[in-house]
Structure 1
Amino acid sequence: MASPIAATAPYWVPALSMLLVARRIRRNFGVQPWRPVRASIRLGFLVLVAAMLCALGAFQPQLAPGLGIGAALGALLGLLALKHTHVAWRDGQRTYTPNPWIGGALTALLVGRIAWRYTHEGFAAAQAPSALTMGMATVLIGYSLVYVVGLMVQMRRLQAPASATQANPSEPPAP
């Protein structure tokens, strides 16, 4: 007899997946506010997932080539995305505008793999991960790691606008 969670998984797993994809799509377009705490938490999570993927590659050597190639491609895409990301001050807040083509391509990769896995393989937990799935996962993780770290560096280098750094002439100087 299947548990209630397993019995309802075909309904809530795709819905949850699409919610996460919708959030990802929203972050690919337009000016985004820089949230350093969120970025730090995301970086910590990505490092943890990357470490787990490295351990998986060590314990399942047949996955190692897919993991390595995926990580290298993801890092290259992250560098390319950083080159085409614009950072600026807007209304007194640091912002960035990501390249929609690179983010859109990675989102299409993610959605395509989720759709393929769901329609052809199902979401059975007992299935062993394939090298293709793990390669695609490391593309996304490698991209995200490089992109988040690169954005952190760019935001630290971003100078405050001249009007915000100048002292108010009507105020007396601080002692």
Structure 2
Amino acid sequence: MQQIIILVLVCLVGYRVVKRVRSNFSWSQLQTRRLMFRIGLFSAIGILFMSQSGFSTISVVSDVLGILVGAALGVAGAALTAFERRGTGLYFKANAWIGSVVTALFVGRLAYRGYEMATMSHEGGWSYSFNAGGSEWASGLLLIMFAYYVVYYTLLLKQGKQAAVRLN
């Protein structure tokens, strides 16, 4: 049963990663409610990972560095985003390089965690924790992605309003 659950999770995450990669190279419609929902979701998940990573010095430094790197990538990504009006909708195209780097960090971290779970069993079964194998840097890597999307989507909403006025 556990393998079925893991397979379903892998398929769901794989589906979202494929959609994310496709969106790095295509135009997407700017939908305010969807972006606001994503900002809230990524903020909540980021806070969850940060709170579960522990409060050792290395863990706090990792989390802060992850947030700073993610925020910097979000600012750079928003600055390099293009806008276009199509009919009544406003569309945006993210910078493919920055989006790909963030996606690669996430996929790499996820693949490493999957490998670690498969090779290091705890009491004969799979173990799970937010900071993989006691690594205090793990949540910082994930916080790069969460901070990136929170900052990027926030700036995207702001720039979208400006672009809508400019492109009318």
Structure 1 residue 39: Cα displacement: 0.7
Which structure exhibits the higher relative contact order, with contacts defined as CA atoms closer than 8 Å and separated by 6 or more residues? Answer: 2
Instruction: Establish whether residue 56 from structure 1 lines up as the match of residue 16 from structure 2.
Output: no
Structure 2 segments unaligned to the other structure (5+ residues): none
TM-score (norm 2): 0.82
Give the aligned residue type for 1:98.
Answer: A
Q: Point out 4+ residue stretches in structure 1 off by more than 6 angstroms.
A: none
Count of aligned positions: 157
The corresponding residue for 1:167 is none
For 1:81-120, what aligned pairs fall within 5 Å after superposition?
81-120=77-116
Give the aligned residue type for 2:142.
Answer: A
For 1:93-172, what aligned pairs fall within 5 Å after superposition?
93-122=89-118, 124-127=126-129, 129=131, 130-158=135-163, 159=165, 161-162=167-168
Q: Secondary structure at the match of 2:25?
A: coil
Q: Does the Cα contact within 8 Å between 1:67 and 1:131 map onto a contact in 2?
A: no
Give the aligned residue type for 1:55.
Answer: S
Q: Does the Cα contact within 8 Å between 1:89 and 1:160 map onto a contact in 2?
A: no
> Which structure has the larger Rg?
1
Structure 1 residue 50: Cα displacement: 3.1
Percent of aligned pairs sharing the same letter:
22
Structure 1 segments unaligned to the other structure (5+ residues): 163-175
TM-score (norm 1): 0.79
**In angstroms, what is the RMSD of aligned CA positions?**
2.1
